Structure 1
């Protein structure tokens, strides 16, 4: 019988990584999330006992004693992407509040040396600062003795009706790999057809504009919140034309666009819910990549 893989969920948001990997029979042993609305949502949906322990459901990642994190196999993290995103100011590592949080990932990897990492960020990360930011990330992880593979994947390539291009990065700890793997690269999953369209989500025909018959199958990408009030990014509230009427998207419809189940709870205001969804990960994509990470760990690790 193969052992149950354990993971930690850094910069966890509302729990997209947790949901996806738990569905693959993996166990979360530590979570870090500083936003109080995200924490409230996470707690409402995951009833794991460790969440009652403040050292295991941490807030500020910089205040964590990394050596005391329980042993785990995979470090997961959709590390804050505002400094790298088109919607953000593109400050990258110069943004001390968010950009440098990548180096918290480095410190955890140094302290715990897990078998793998699984990271997500905005597509723009690859080109930020003429590619220098991405080069620093790549070299940092390589210097820690990890392999490094990446791919830009759209949520719409894995059944969800929004484009949401994101860069996914996967690596394995080289000293724990079998010799046969050393010359291989990680293979990302193949695309899958669109499972549902925006018409399915709204329960009516969604068209590109009023008085048009051209269907909008794929919706606007839910955006990262930008810190403005009361609605952090109004593009999350763009109207859709449904049965020739302009309708605003609801958090419940946003959850469906992200691959969350209908029973997922959002115990926050609609404004906060849309901000949290803009910062979340596409569950379908994370699950597909996660299943291949699991396969590699079970077959290519010592």
Structure 2
């Protein structure tokens, strides 16, 4: 029987990265850390474990130090780094950010492998200095081989930022969601065999969950998801104002009939804008003139609505995929305390599980190249 690698799930959200790794059958979670109260409720509901823990605190770092593990997983937020003096080192310039705490944990506990996930803006953040600093910390100060990074003879790190960017639309779901993935192997543990890992990160998946957004949408949604006529009119005015200025901002209907294979825009945790860029036409219910409890004006007569949280969950691989058992029963659900607003936020903050699953299988392939169990024991 092949060994299961122990992992810790930091900045855990509702456990999407964890689930992607668990789907491979080769990883076992031993500790989680998350500070958002409602995300913790959902996480415990799904996994039976309370992930509450602040990775910036000394007490939680001590918990990690006391927990034997192999793989560190973290979907950390993108934050500004300070400008440190040359003597301070790259790590010092990240102080006060979540990345600093992740790097500090890695320095204390020496995980054999790490996967870090972030928004695509990380690559251009602070004119690219933020990403360069992260790579310098990982390679030069923590001693990791980062997939996609080579070191020149004079010590300069050579990389192409595009090699870290992967899009959910290429991993089985119809969602345009570019994200940064950083995969690292500890040089001291795996030895110089890590230099055999010259391969780039996977660019796509053979598994297709849906042909297009048409297969995701569940028509005839509850009236509460339909826009009021007044709100739709406001959105149209806003879009027209920007259009006159030559901007492409504004609401978007993503299932227009002129596109046979539509995909959604990226789902966002920021509420309104994430929904407004992903409106759909749903004419299965007659909405013209009807009122919904939370609306100040009657519903619009075009059938324009927001996608439902359930549809967002399908686009992220939580619903209709990751929690489906061998009998075909889907075990994903939210606890009753989690509102629709929180559900949108949690899915918008989450990773796309099928993309993470591919990255986890890539790590297993790398372990095989490195000799697998030769260093175990």
TM-score computed with the length of structure 1 as normaliser: 0.83
Corresponding residue number in structure 2 for 1:30: 31
| Residues in 2 aligned to 1:62 and 1:186: alpha-carbon distance in whole angstroms | 33
Offset from partner CA, 1:185-222 (integer Å, 9 cap, x none): 243224236531211111459x9579844335201210
Give the Å deviation of 1:155: 0.3
Q: Do the aligned partners of residues 32 and 211 (structure 1) sit closer, same or farther apart at CA in structure 2, a change above 3 Å counting?
A: closer
Per the TM alignment, residue 113 of structure 1 is displaced from its structure 2 partner at its CA by 0.3
Please state if 1:105 is matched with 2:126.
Answer: no
| Alignment-derived partner of residue 2 in structure 1 | 2
Q: Which residue of 2 is the match for residue 88 of structure 1?
A: none
| Residue of structure 1 equivalent to 2:179 | 166
Q: Structure 2 regions of 5+ residues with no counterpart?
A: 83-94, 148-162, 221-251, 284-301, 321-330
Partner of 1:68: 63
Counterpart residue number, 2:344: 274
The answer (yes or no) to whether the contact 1:161–1:217 under 8 Å persists in 2 is yes
Answering whether residue 257 of structure 2 is matched by residue 218 of structure 1, we say: no
Per-residue CA deviation, residues 82-133 of structure 1 (Å, 9 max, x unaligned), is: x4xxxxxxxx236xxx970001110110111011100100111011111110
Query: Which residue of 165, 182, 185 maps to 2:195?
Result: 182
Gaps of 5+ in 1: 84-91, 226-231
With a CA cutoff of 8 Å and minimum separation of 6, indicate the structure with the bigger relative contact order.
1
Query: How many angstroms apart in 1 are the aligned matches of 2:121 and 2:253?
Result: 27
Question: Contact 1:2–1:298 at 8 Å: present in 2 too?
Answer: no
On the 8 A contact 1:208/1:214 being kept in 2, the answer is no
> Could you tell me how far 1:140 is from its partner in structure 2?
0.6
2:280 aligned to 240, 252, 255, which one? 240
Aligned pair 1:199/2:214, yes or no? yes
> CA–CA distance in 1 between the matches of 2:165 and 2:186?
22
Moved more, 23-32 or 213-222: 213-222
- Give the direction of change, closer, same or farther, for the CA distance of 1:192–1:296 in structure 2 (3 Å limit): closer
Q: Give 2:92's aligned residue.
A: none
What is the Cα-based RMSD across aligned positions, in Å? 2.6
Q: Distance in 2 between matches of 1:129 and 1:283?
A: 29
Select which of 320, 324, 332 maps to 1:264.
332
Secondary structure in 2 aligned to 1:288?
A: helix
Shift in Å at residue 285 of structure 1?
A: 0.6
Whole-angstrom CA distance in 1 between matches of 2:254 and 2:52: 45
Query: Would you say how many aligned residue pairs link Structure 1 and Structure 2?
Result: 277
68-77 or 152-161: bigger deviation: 68-77
Q: Deviations over 1:124-178 (max 9, x none)?
A: 1011111110111001111200011352000000011111100100000001115
CA offsets, 1:57-81, max 9 Å, x none? 3422122342432111110000023
| Higher mean C-alpha deviation, range 151-160 or range 232-241 | 232-241
- The DSSP-based 3-state class of the residue aligned with 1:76 is strand
